[in-house]
Structure 1
Amino acid sequence: MKLVVLGLSLSSSWGNGHATTYRALLKEFAARGHDILFLERDVPWYATQRDVADPDYCRLSFYGDLAGLDRWRGEIERADAVIVGSYVPDGVAVGRFVHKHARGVTAFYDIDTPVTLAKLALGDFEYLSPEIIRGYDLYLSFTGGPTLKLIEQRYGSPAARALYCSVDPDAYPPLDVPKRWDLSYLGTYSPDRQPTVERLLIEPARALPDSRFVVAGPLYPADIDWPANVERIEHLAPGDHPDFYSASRWTLNVTRADMIAAGWSPSVRLFEAAACAVPVISDCWDGLDSLFAPGREIMLAGTSADVINLLTDGVDPAAIGRAARARVMNGHRAADRALELETHLREAALVTAS
């Protein structure tokens, strides 16, 4: 299969979760024998923060603007499938270009489904519109559950299918390193996540001054009052994630508000931490128990007291981490998602050919 992907970024993981998702998925898709071209808009905020320049599993090329995309028209025309991702700059116009020229299956890959649907409900068509949804043969969604029917029934998608994020176990192995922190959190600042970070990490840090905490990720405002026992790391490259997780007794998973409302929206960080056999404390949302067993493979927390109890009451975090890793290795690897993607694309091809 010849696949063209127009995504937010493959080259830079700075401030986004798209790059690591694409890297893991496309590496395994290529391992199944497929040929991949990834086209990325050349923007300055990623150009200065690139941590992948020449991947060995696909061709990576850049285009400067919509007019520059015309250079790749032949590749798009000859492809068996073309995927456009969420948050691609000028995504509606890019979608129209793909609909006009692609002869194979066309798909939208939504790595931000609840955010996308919230924007659509407000009439915000930054990178997707109802008209464009109807033109894609397939809508691949980071959110499963009832949201898939909504995408089909309200927005007219011919086929909405869950394609959750995943992890490359080779890139996220458990490491035998000293424990530096009692609780860690890895995530870019987001106003709707910050109240949960305050409740589930900063407040426990104040209550446990002898314990060690860390928050890694960019864009946090300078006026946040970090307790003295909370270390800050501005940016952590993907290659450093396994060491970061493995140095944590526990790690925290915090979910965007729109994703909590939709449910069935696991973040890539959840799978990455679990692959490192690091026990996760997560906020609560519908569908989480379909991915990990609460109390055995993951621990849930709604209040700072819940977190404090987990850090101090003698629960064996290592056992929970091992169970979480076992679950990831049986259904949430990038190889599992690559097979799902191949299946969805082949099924869509059969429909369009009939």
Structure 2
Amino acid sequence: MHSPLRIAFFGSSLVSSYWNGAATYYRGIVRALHQRGHHVTFFEPDAFERQQHRDIEDPDWAKVVVYPAHGEADAASALEQARGADLIVKASGVGVFDEFLEREVLALRSPTTWIAFWDVDAPATLERMLADPNDALRAHVPRYDLVLTYGGGQRVIDAYRGLGARECVPIYNALDPETHHPVAVDHRFAADLGFLGNRLPDREARVRRFFFDAASKAPEFDYLLGGSGWDDVELPSNVTRLGHVSTRDHNAFNCSAHMVLNINRDSMARFGFSPPTRVFEAAGAGACLVTDAWDGIEMFLEPGREVLIADSAEQVNQHLRAIGPVLARQIGERARSRMLREHTYAHRVAQLESLLEARLRAAA
């Protein structure tokens, strides 16, 4: 970019991953923007006990504004602080006052301020809007200067264009090599297969199918379950429950299990081209990654060489039986090399800058 941008970002949380799977994505994007000289202020509500479960202190690569979540007046006050920024982003899934923010942020547009909607869960957002003609967000989509998405490929682009979006561009998840990298094995996380993911209604059935069923069918293996919400679930005897795993332990988790499992949420699997942050975290740490099958995986990692694909619990266990430590390490190292070569947040922010420059030229 010719000159640094002042960017105001309304999201769920930059400083806490507690019930906030988008934290890794936000941190990667915002840190990379800072490294390119841009100034980001991240506005997040004091909600869902996230401030009590912080993973990081306020970083030096962003200004964090935590606003109260008592009423819409609190959100309105935060919006007023963002007035005058070059780019104001409303992310999906802030968690409180989303409808209010999605409507009122548009009042901050000016000839020198662009307003973007950044959908960090595009498949689910689109399925919700397409199922309900009266969904509040539908009316606002055509009014945003730009819709950015965390993934979703051509189906997501076409769906947003069908709802009147002026422009829709996926900015895929990526690796922040400063945050996710190989570390020493930590025996707390030693297992044959590790899975890290919060219990969510649109993923639970797939977790049961790919993880719990795999554990039930292979009592000779040890399975490790990390993430919030699983406390009252009856688990097979060879599954160890960890509860919430802080982001500061993710590298150790990914480096200590023989293999790491990724399980997509229903809507992301249906749309494809929506690799979650876990894929990049695990690959960046050099883990041998097994993922459930979804369209577009080969755009990020080569199946069989850089990642293992499973269509069932039986296939998960086949991989555990067939892949020894040496080959598992080779698969993880290839995945890490591919990420560093093509899929870092520096790559994503360069793409975003090119997009904004093209719009600046068009506006001029």
Q: TM-score, normalised by structure 2?
A: 0.91
1:102 equivalent to 2:106? Answer no
Q: CA deviation at 1:102?
A: 3.0
Match of 1:205 in 2: 215
Question: Offset of 1:85 from its aligned partner?
Answer: 0.3
Task: Tell me whether 1:337 sits opposite 2:348 in the alignment.
Answer: yes
Equivalent residue letter for 1:133: V
Match of 1:86 in 2: 92
Mapped partners of 1:182, 1:212: distance in 2: 5
Q: Larger deviation: 3-12 or 147-156?
A: 147-156
Structure 2, unmatched stretches of 5+, are none
Structure 1 position 122 matched with structure 2 position 114: no
**Quick one: which of 21, 25, 49 aligns to 1:21?**
25
CA-based RMSD of the aligned residues comes to 1.9
**Alignment of 1:227 onto 2:233:** no
SS in 2 for 1:308: helix
Is the Cα contact below 8 Å between 1:193 and 1:257 reproduced in 2? yes
Structure 2 partner of 1:62? 66
| SS in structure 2 at match of 1:341 | helix
For residue 147 of structure 2, what is the aligned residue in structure 1? 139
Give 1:268's aligned residue.
277
Q: Per the alignment, in what secondary structure is the counterpart of residue 94 of structure 1? A: helix
Query: What is the aligned partner in structure 2 of residue 196 from structure 1?
Result: 206
Do the aligned partners of residues 125 and 322 (structure 1) sit closer, same or farther apart at CA in structure 2, a change above 3 Å counting? farther
| Matches of 1:124 and 1:184, distance apart in 2 | 41
* Cα gap change, 1:262 to 1:317, in 2 (>3 Å): same
Q: How many residues align?
A: 351
| Aligned 8 A contact 2:161 2:168 in 1 | no
| Further displaced range: 272-281 or 73-82 | 73-82
Correspondence 1:350 to 2:361? yes
* Greater RCO, CA 8 A, separation 6+: 1
Structure 1 unpaired stretches of 5+: none
CA distance, structure 2, for counterparts of residue 232 and residue 14 of structure 1: 17
SS at match of 2:8: strand
Shift of 1:348: 3.1
Alpha-carbon contact 2:186-2:252 (below 8 Å) kept: no
Sequence identity of aligned pairs in percent? 30
**Counterpart AA for 1:169:** P
State how 1:246-325 maps to structure 2 within 5 Å: 246-314=255-323, 316-325=327-336
TM-score, with length taken from structure 1: 0.93
Query: 1:125 and 1:344, CA in 2 relative to 1: closer, same or farther beyond 3 A?
Result: farther
Letter in 1 for 2:357: R
The answer on whether the counterparts of 1:148 and 1:161 sit within 8 Å (CA) in structure 2 is no
Which residue does 2:171 correspond to in 1?
Answer: 163
Deviant stretches of 4+, over 6 Å: none
Pick closer, same or farther for the CA change 1:192–1:156 going to 2, 3 Å.
same
- Decide whether the 8 Å contact of 1:92 with 1:132 is kept in 2: no
